[in-house]
Amino acid sequence: MLQSIITQFLSGFSVVAILVIAALGLAIIFGVAGVINMAHGELIMVGAYTAAIVGKLGGNTFAAIPVAFVVVGLLGLVIERGIIQWIYDRPLETLLATWGVGIILQVLVKLIFGPELYYAGAPKILEGGFRVIGRLPFPWYRLFLIVMAISLLLLVFYVIFKSDFGLKVRAVRRNRAISGCLGIDTARVDMTIFAFGCGLAGIAGAVLAPIKSVSTTMGFPYAVDSYMVLVLGGVGSLWGVLAGGALIGESETILSFIFNNVIGRLLVFLFIVVIIRVVPRGIFGFYERR
């Protein structure tokens, strides 16, 4: 019994990793650009379909990651230039507009690919698992997800806080007008950061496709979870993504073991609602954007 609980706890790490990977793209778009992107789930879905196609063409997940990044990033560029750039000052309206984008993406993918499920396989090298404790092995792929989550967090940290580009992004977010006066091309920064966030969502899709199934409706649950992670952890904070993901992921896994999947999820949601009442900006929500 104790073994099962420990195994559960460890597999909870992989759930945390999944949440973090899914939420990072949204953290950039929501936290940094201030856009409520209701199409986040669909962007993940497009990334997953890209991975499925790459798989059909003979590649594996490792190859799919950069491809998905580029494909969904370009898609994000199109969305930003076409729609988002006009409505930065109206966050609640970005919600509506991106909901429309999400619907269009879903239907287009369905029309192009048909409604059947697609199959995106994990790379052979990552199959199977290694024994940690107890009877069940810990799957390599889940370990890969954990590694992926950490790397992506570090990547985003580097881009936002250590790079030149990141400096510009933070400047534009603090004060757009002055940044423009100082010679920063704000439109270019907006474009790039939005595309970057979308690209991250694409990577999430490519990486998550092998463990679930690829279908046109797979995105919505990921979007919901990502919002919960951000709201709990605090918008605009990388620590927040990690904290939110960790709290939600582990609680859901442990509660699911004790009760069942649905009650676990229910309790986690209730838990989030309660926490938000107490800490409205989220746990790490210092850098609040009004």
Partner 1 sequence: MAEAVVRNEADQGPTSGKPASANRRQYRPPKFLPLWALIGGVIVVALIGSYPYYGSSAYVLSLLGKFLCFGLFALSIDLIWGFTGILSLGQAVYFGIGAYFVALSLKINYAMDHPTRYGGKFPDFMEWNGLTELPHFMAPLVNTPFAVVCALVVPTLLALLFGVITFKRHIYGVYCAVITLAESLILQDAIIEYQAYTGGFNGITDYSNYATPAFLWFILAVCVLFLIVSRALTHSRVGTVLKSIRDNDVRAEFMGYNVANYRIFVFCVSAFMAAAAGALYAAWVGIISFLDAGPVFSIEGVIWTAVGGRGTLIGPFIGAFLVKGAEFFLSGALASWWQIIVGGLFIFVVLVMRDGIVGTIGNLLRKWRKGATLEEVMEDSDRRAHDRQLDWQPGGPPPADEPVR
Partner 2 sequence: MRVSRRRVLQSTGGGLAGILASGVAPYSFVRNIVKAAESDTIKVGILHSLSGTIAIIESSLHNAELLAIEEINAKGGVMGKKIQPVVEDPQSLVQVFAEKAKKLLLEDKVAAVLGCYTSASRQSVLPVFEENNGVLLYPTLYEAQECSKNCFYTGAVPNQQLDDFVPWIINTLGRKKFYLIGANYIYPKETNREVKALLQKHGGTTVAEEYSPLGSTEFSTNINKIASSGADIVFSDLVGDQIVAFYKQFKEFGITAKDIPICTPITTEQEIAAMGPENAVGHYTSFNYFQSVDSPQNKSFVDRYKAKYGKDAVTNAVMEAAYFQTYFLAQALEKVKSTDADALIYEGLPGQEFTAPQGKVKIDEKNHHTWLWSRIGKANEQGQFDVVWKSEDWIRPQPWVPYLYPNKTCDFTDKRVLDRLKKPWSAEKNRSGTIDL
Q: Which of 42, 112, 100 is nearest to 72 (CA)?
A: 42
Rounded Cα–Cα distance for residues 129 and 141 (Å): 8
Asked if 101 contacts 42 with a C-beta cutoff of 8 angstroms, the reply is: yes
Q: Is the distance from CB of 14 to CB of 142 less than 8 angstroms?
A: yes
Tokens of 272: 């989030």
Count of residues engaged in binding partner 2, rule: CB under 8 A: 38
Least distance (Å) from partner 2 to the CB of residue 271? 18
Helix or strand run (H / E) with residue 20: helix 2-26
Instruction: Please report how close the Cβ of residue 213 comes to partner 2 at its closest, in angstroms.
Output: 5
DSSP state of 213: -
Sign of CA dihedral 107, 110, 115, 117: negative
Determine, following the binding rule CB under 8 A, whether residue 95 of this chain makes contact with partner 1: yes
Interface mask toward partner 2 for 228-267; x: CB under 8 A: -------------------------x--xx--xxx-x---
Q: Is 202 exposed, middle or buried (0-12, 13-18, 19+ CB in 10 A)?
A: buried
Measured between alpha carbons, how far is 23 from 28 in angstroms, rounded to an integer?
A: 9
Contact status: 90 vs partner 2 (CB under 8 A): no
Give the footprint of partner 1 on residues 218-257 (CB under 8 A). Answer: 224, 227-228, 231, 235
Scanning residues 119 to 178, which ones bind partner 1 (CB under 8 A)?
none
Nearest residue (CB) to partner 2, 89 versus 116: 116
Q: Select 135 or 290, whichever has its Cβ closest to partner 2.
A: 135
Among the listed residues 57, 100, 104, 110, the single contact to partner 2 using CB under 8 A: 110
Query: Residue 167's closest CA among 178, 155, 177, 159?
Result: 159
86 binds partner 1 per the rule CB under 8 A: yes
Q: Is 11 in the site for partner 2 (CB under 8 A)?
A: yes
User: Contact between 216 and partner 2 (CB under 8 A)?
Assistant: yes
First to last CA, the chain: 48
In 3-state terms, what secondary structure has residue 35? coil
Pairing mode of beta strands 129-131, 137-139 = antiparallel
Q: Is residue 4 part of the contact set for partner 2 (CB under 8 A)? A: yes
Task: Find the shortest distance in angstroms from Cβ 11 to partner 2.
Answer: 5
Q: Which residues pair with 118 in a beta bridge?
A: 214
- Our finding on whether 81 is near partner 1 (CB under 8 A) is no
* Chain positions contacting partner 2, by CB under 8 A: 1, 3-4, 7-8, 11, 14-15, 110, 114-119, 121, 128-129, 134-137, 139, 141-142, 211-213, 215-217, 253, 256-257, 260-262, 264
Binding residues for partner 1, rule: CB under 8 A, are 36, 38, 83, 86-87, 91-93, 95-97, 99-104, 106-108, 110-111, 224, 227-228, 231, 235, 262-263, 265-266, 269-270, 272-273, 276-277, 280-281
